[in-house]
Structure 1
Amino acid sequence: MKTLTIGDLKARIPIIQGGMGVGISLSGLASAVANEGGIGVISAAGLGLLYKKLSPNYTEAGNLGLAAEIRKAREKAKGIIGVNVMVALSDFAELVKTSIAEKVDIIFSGAGLPLDLPSFLKKDSVTKLVPIVSSARAVRIICEKWKNNYDYLPDAVVLEGPKAGGHLGYKENQLEDEHFSLEELLPQVVEEVSHFEEKYNKRIPVIAAGGIYTGEDIKRVMDLGASGVQLGTRFVATTECDASDAFKESYIKAEEKDIEIIKSPVGMPGRAIHCNFLQKVKDGLKQPKVCPFNCIKTCDISRSPYCIVTALYNAFKGNFENGYAFAGSNAWRTTRIMSVKETISELINEWKRSDQPTLSSR
């Protein structure tokens, strides 16, 4: 596998561990991936719940928690550490400021277009900015806005396809449409990015994400022009993943039919593993219409059957009567828990095998 270069950062292997909230990818998982030569990513989502002891104010607790996680990751790892901050989060600006102040290597940002992300950088900032998109059009809008308003271009771009876990940047009817497959969209995004690279003489690597599970998958998308890949689901069933054992077991126990598309209170479709809680939602679950967090800009509590941050936090703790696990389309292929080192070694070996010429092609 070739190295992945993002600005002046060089990852020994072109693998980014996707940010997963609430609490699934914190300093434990991120530092383990960074130590193996990849890019580890802390999810900023829901940290106000995980760190509620630090402050009764959800936003303040979340920012203190994010700073603590970045520092813990730095203590454990010498490699590249990133943070995923969703645009849809109400405390997006505060979390971005905290990440930059803590000199995190990279901010990944999706679940909306991060049109003002460069505005938070200061003259001495070292943090790289990487938007997560679902189309070539989104790349063009971001690049034009950033260049015109801030004289800045993305340091890389993540294209997340419709087979990803969690919230999806697609309409539900697009999720199974081949015109919106990662393989169809990737060359379009690579071409769009190349226009800005050539015009402004800046290298902007494109990272492929969504449904990438094996080394063969990695080789396939890199052959289509990706400079690297982002994987989330494959890293859940690792000993270093920050989720509870029950959360990890939900991936191992899942069958293909259990992976389903849900309607999130956020207003986007999401991919999750079916469980008792989601069945109750389908059966008409209604929870009290009180929101103690106001954590997501687009969440209308008056129309939401449940609080999503509480549901995801419950799942993180292993409580599936009151929560559910987001998961990618290949989560059902998970068979056992192994270390991050073993997982990455397996991915590299799979990639090497797929890179060998077959007898018929010799």
Structure 2
Amino acid sequence: MTITELLGIKYPIFQGAMAQIAREPLVSAVSNAGGLGIIGSGGMSAEELREEIHKVRAATSKPFAVNLMLMMPNIPELIQVIVEENVKIVTTGAGTPAPYMPIFKEHGIIVIAVIPSVKIAKKMEALGVNAVVAEGTEAGGHVGETTTMALVPQVVSNVSIPVIAAGGIADGRGIAAVFALGALGVQVGTRFLTTVECPTHDNFKQAVIDADDTSTTVTGRSIGGPVRSIKNSMIAEYLKLEQEHASREELEKISLGSLRKAVFEGDTDRGSVMAGQICGLCNEITTVEQMITGMFNEAQALMNRLGQTQIIGEQVTPI
């Protein structure tokens, strides 16, 4: 079964559950355009999630999902809301869904786990999740260590459930590439940051547009929580403190609330502009529909062309 058949969507594309950003305006636009919009529930109370679900339902009749950051202390309350509101798709990260699989299965909820390694992918399959998102270190926000190019084919070779590729995908070439690696779909975050419907400050969008392939870096490795963001003065200060072996408390002093500062206040110098290494391809503002259809039209044309391309030549005797 394809991802589109499993989820009832037109295009095999998920919108990344970006914290503070994956809210109704973006989620409903993605679902209406034929992808899978995903509400990012991280930091939400149960009632806030319920309200967001209602907003999405009012704006689209198409399938959507809720992402659960399983490290959050109120996960049981959020799951109760998901059950009560009859949400049928969840994605999970930052922990194991093992304690909650019985309730998901009982209510017919499709579970898709975001994973950074083959080892965890195999564990998720053993738990009974329906699919996995193999996310490479190129992605924005919280990241693992393995690149998408290396991670995806190894995960595909080690599990029998569908694999969705994430990290470093922003156009049709990226989609075609990961399909060649065995993925059945893509999850995209950074490219959605430069869409009309993305509910961030214009300064945030402009920071992504202005960025290139070397504009991001990873902080938080010293405390076991690596995060990729666009470089700025706050990030430079954070990295300096890490080099000086600062404590978690010292690091949190300068980073606490920094994402909200960037997303809502437009402070792209002292805020955290989480984005991936593919920023250099995210250089214009489009609607979500234009973005998705353009990417898949390009991918299909490329795959059609490659299907007629011979890459093995005739053997000749060297001179």
Q: CA, structure 1 residues 282+143, in 2 after alignment: closer, same or farther (shift >3 Å)?
A: closer
TM-score (norm 1): 0.77
Q: Which residue of 1 aligns with 2:192?
A: 235
Partners of 1:85 and 1:29 in 2: how far apart?
17
Q: Which residue of 1 aligns with 2:159?
A: 193
**Does the CA contact (< 8 Å) of 2:4 and 2:11 recur in 1?**
no
Partners of 1:136 and 1:279 in 2: how far apart?
32
Partners of 1:103 and 1:308 in 2: how far apart?
36
Q: 2:94 aligns with which of 111, 115, 128?
A: 111
Deviation (angstroms), 1:281: 2.7
**Does the CA contact (< 8 Å) of 2:229 and 2:274 recur in 1?**
yes
Helix, strand or coil for the counterpart of 2:272? coil
Q: CA, structure 1 residues 68+86, in 2 after alignment: closer, same or farther (shift >3 Å)?
A: same
The alignment status of 1:76 with 2:59, answered yes or no, reads: yes
Helix, strand or coil for the counterpart of 2:214? helix
Partners of 1:167 and 1:38 in 2: how far apart?
22
Partners of 2:256 and 2:30 in 1: how far apart?
25
Deviation (angstroms), 1:229: 0.7
Q: Which residue of 2 aligns with 1:137?
A: 119
**Does the CA contact (< 8 Å) of 1:252 and 1:332 recur in 2?**
yes
CA RMSD of aligned residues (A): 2.5
Q: CA, structure 1 residues 337+126, in 2 after alignment: closer, same or farther (shift >3 Å)?
A: same
Of all paired residues, the percent bearing the same amino acid is 33
Q: Which residue of 2 aligns with 1:182?
A: 148
Partner deviation per Cα, 1:19-41 (whole Å, 9 max, x = no partner):
101x2111111110101111001
**Does the CA contact (< 8 Å) of 2:104 and 2:110 recur in 1?**
no
Partner deviation per Cα, 1:267-326 (whole Å, 9 max, x = no partner):
3211100123223334559xxxxxxxxxxxxxx863534365511111111123442111
Deviation (angstroms), 1:238: 0.5
Helix, strand or coil for the counterpart of 1:107? strand
Helix, strand or coil for the counterpart of 2:165? strand
**Does the CA contact (< 8 Å) of 2:50 and 2:81 recur in 1?**
yes
Partners of 2:22 and 2:13 in 1: how far apart?
15
**Does the CA contact (< 8 Å) of 2:232 and 2:270 recur in 1?**
no
Partners of 1:97 and 1:301 in 2: how far apart?
32
Q: Which residue of 2 aligns with 1:127?
A: 109
The alignment status of 1:13 with 2:11, answered yes or no, reads: yes
Partner deviation per Cα, 1:2-51 (whole Å, 9 max, x = no partner):
962464x3211111111101x2111111110101111001111233xxxx
**Does the CA contact (< 8 Å) of 2:232 and 2:268 recur in 1?**
yes
Aligned length, in residue pairs: 305
**Paired amino acid for 2:274:** F
What 5-or-longer segments of structure 2 have no aligned partner? 312-319
Deviation (angstroms), 1:338: 0.9
**Does the CA contact (< 8 Å) of 2:238 and 2:251 recur in 1?**
no
More moved, 241-250 vs 256-265: 256-265
